[in-house]
A and B are shown apart, each in its own frame.
Chain A
């Protein structure tokens, strides 16, 4: 596979652009993770993720995964695959998805997120914030109890 993420696989001869610690998930390297069958992966992951896989093995997000694979295949070498948009914020990130670009819906827009190996086991929705962080302005009249009746001239 490619080393675009900066996470070097065991025998990469491509010079490391940025030296990261070699990525392992619960003691398993990237390379091996990609080959791990889904039952084994379930054991490695947290219990909430495990429960989701156990319950929903009818695999609702099949469409998403197929599109991701396709996008990766079609991508020219050493370039990022095209963005795959989805509303599936409740999809858990699986080693298969690493390296793809996913446009995660936050209610209004599709936030483009590149999936890194670190993100395994989290939900897609956690990377696409769905609210605008609050920047409080000056509190208006009526905000507190004491200021309610002042405006009556």
Chain B
């Protein structure tokens, strides 16, 4: 597309929400580099931020970036519907929020910890590195674990 910005203002890599966002990629897909932000969410955030979707990520101004970060972290204030978010009706706090970058990993860890602490069956399966969702494990999930019988001679 026709480059509208000046050459020196194009940022090859920006740092957004603790992640490196590639500048050469189209904005919508560049933002998906952030954990917790996928294509749908990125699309919606950019639309709410009034950013031209045909731009590349390097062409964004600082102002626009700040707006985007703000929207990502406070989705409900910018009229992003509750059902769009990845952490709905949080088990302890009851909040509706979108977890991003570190928060995603943290909350996963917390969930697993909680299950283990209560000695929930699910938690124990996670602990033992077994399948949690009721799959049959007799024949599947081998991944390099070969069971052999030695020929006794």
Say yes or no: A24-B93 contact (C-beta < 8 A), given A126-B122, A140-B149, A150-B151: yes
CB of B92 within 8 A of CB of A141, answer no
Given A23-B92, A116-B118, A119-B120, 12 new contacts (CB under 8 A): A24-B93, A25-B91, A26-B89, A26-B90, A26-B94, A44-B94, A127-B121, A129-B121, A129-B124, A143-B147, A144-B148, A150-B152
Supply 6 A–B pairs (Cβ within 8 Å), ascending by A. A26-B90, A126-B121, A129-B124, A139-B147, A146-B149, A147-B151
A119 to chain B: closest residue by CB: B118
Closest Cβ of chain B: how far from A84's Cβ, in Å?
18
Q: Note all chain B residues with C-beta closer than 8 A to A56.
A: none
In the assembled complex, A85 has its CB within 8 A of some CB on chain B: no
User: Which residues of B are in contact with A by a Cβ distance under 8 Å?
Assistant: 89-95, 114, 117-122, 124, 128, 147-149, 151-152
In the assembled complex, A133 has its CB within 8 A of some CB on chain B: yes
Selected from A125, A139, A150, the residue in CB contact (under 8 A) with B148 is A139
- Residues of A within 8 Å of B, CB-based: how many? 26
User: Which residues of A are in contact with B by a Cβ distance under 8 Å?
Assistant: 23-28, 44, 113, 116, 118-119, 122, 125-127, 129, 133, 136, 139-141, 143-144, 146-147, 150
Closest Cβ of chain B: how far from A128's Cβ, in Å?
8
A136 to chain B: closest residue by CB: B147
CB of A118 within 8 A of CB of B148, answer no
A130 to chain B: closest residue by CB: B121
CB of B92 within 8 A of CB of A25, answer yes
Q: Note all chain B residues with C-beta closer than 8 A to A119.
A: 118, 120
Selected from A118, A126, A133, the residue in CB contact (under 8 A) with B117 is A118
B146 to chain A: closest residue by CB: A144
Say yes or no: A28-B94 contact (C-beta < 8 A), given A129-B124, A144-B149: yes
In order of increasing CB-CB distance, the 3 nearest A-B pairs are A27-B94, A26-B94, A147-B149
Question: CA separation between A144 and B120, bound complex, in Å?
Answer: 34
Q: Note all chain A residues with C-beta closer than 8 A to B90.
A: 26-27
Selected from A26, A125, A143, the residue in CB contact (under 8 A) with B93 is A26
Q: Note all chain A residues with C-beta closer than 8 A to B92.
A: 23-27
A121 to chain B: closest residue by CB: B91
